[in-house]
Amino acid sequence: MAIQSVPVLLAAGEVMRLSATMQDLANTPDDGYRYELLRGVLLRMPPPQEEHGQISALLIGSLIPYCRTLGMLKRLVADIGYELRGNDISPTVLAPDVSIIRTPKTAGTTYSSDAPLLAVEIASPSQGRPYLQDKAELYLAAGTVLVWVVWPESRTVDVWTQPGAPVTRSVGETLDGGTVLPGLTIPVGDLFP
């Protein structure tokens, strides 16, 4: 079957191709855009805006002391691709804004085939709840134990540990690492500039 280009915009970005493969993702141009493969659909997303970058930096800054203390600093990463695998997951490679790697990727592979321990998605203005809920549930289905979805406009964070059941934390409340990252606490207000 030939790969088709479609002139449609999704909440997360421009749909480049339907029925795309891992090879199609690997062949995307180095053009300043971010690309993800979501259930066999190749998405092109604009670069993050300033507030998005600030939140990402503040989150990483909050995670560094915890990761350093536990000898996990090399496992704290931003914007790397994970090939998500699991029951009923079509070809999917997602790149969370911030994550903690479960295990380093195997030499000779493009993307980590092990879901991250923690995946953090920072909502962009073009991304709606249904889209980010789908991503959170894909991470969980692939084995991620903790997903945080950060909502800059409402200054809240949805905490996902199981499908369909996020708990929303607001400024004045605290995020914690649960059983995945025991002892980790981050005040929600510390994530927003």
The CATH number linked to 152 is: 3.90.1570.10
Confidence at 137, pLDDT banded by 50, 70, 90:
very high
Q: Which two tokens stand for residue 36?
A: 């993800």
Instruction: Write down the pLDDT at residue 16.
Output: 57
Domain containing 17 equals 9-45
Same domain for 129 and 142:
yes
Q: How many domains does the chain have?
A: 2
Instruction: Write down the pLDDT at residue 58.
Output: 97
Alpha-carbon distances of 167 from 34, 103, 139, 157, 185, rounded to whole Å? 28, 27, 16, 8, 16
pTM of this prediction exceeds 0.75 = yes
| Residue pair 143/154 in contact by the 8 Å Cβ criterion | no
Same domain for 35 and 64:
no
Same domain for 148 and 119:
yes
> What are the tens digits of pLDDT across the range 87-122?
777 889 999 999 999 877 667 677 888 899 999 999
Same domain for 152 and 65:
yes
Query: What is the mean predicted confidence (pLDDT) over 110-139?
Result: 92
- For the sheet with 9-10, list strands across it: 9-10, 13-17, 41-45, 34-38, 93-94, 82-83
Query: What is the mean predicted confidence (pLDDT) over 125-133?
Result: 90
Same domain for 127 and 32:
no
Q: In terms of Cα–Cα distance, which of 115, 91, 94, 111 is closest to 41? A: 91
Query: What is the mean predicted confidence (pLDDT) over 132-137?
Result: 94
Q: How far is the first Cα of the chain from the last one, in angstroms, to the nearest whole number?
A: 48
Q: Count how many residues are written for the chain.
A: 193
In-domain check, residue 181: yes
Query: What is the mean predicted confidence (pLDDT) over 171-180?
Result: 95
Which alpha helices (H) appear in 6-82, and where do they start and end? 22-26, 50-69
| Residue pair 154/169 in contact by the 8 Å Cβ criterion | no
Same domain for 60 and 17:
no
Indicate if the pLDDT at residue 6 is higher than 50: no
Average pLDDT, rounded, for the chain? 87
Same domain for 68 and 37:
no
Q: Which distant-in-sequence residues (6+ apart) come within 8 Å of 102 by Cβ?
A: 75, 112, 114, 115, 116, 117, 143
Query: What is the mean predicted confidence (pLDDT) over 163-189?
Result: 95
Same domain for 91 and 166:
yes
Helix (H, G, I), strand (E, B) or coil at 80: coil
Confidence at 51, pLDDT banded by 50, 70, 90:
very high
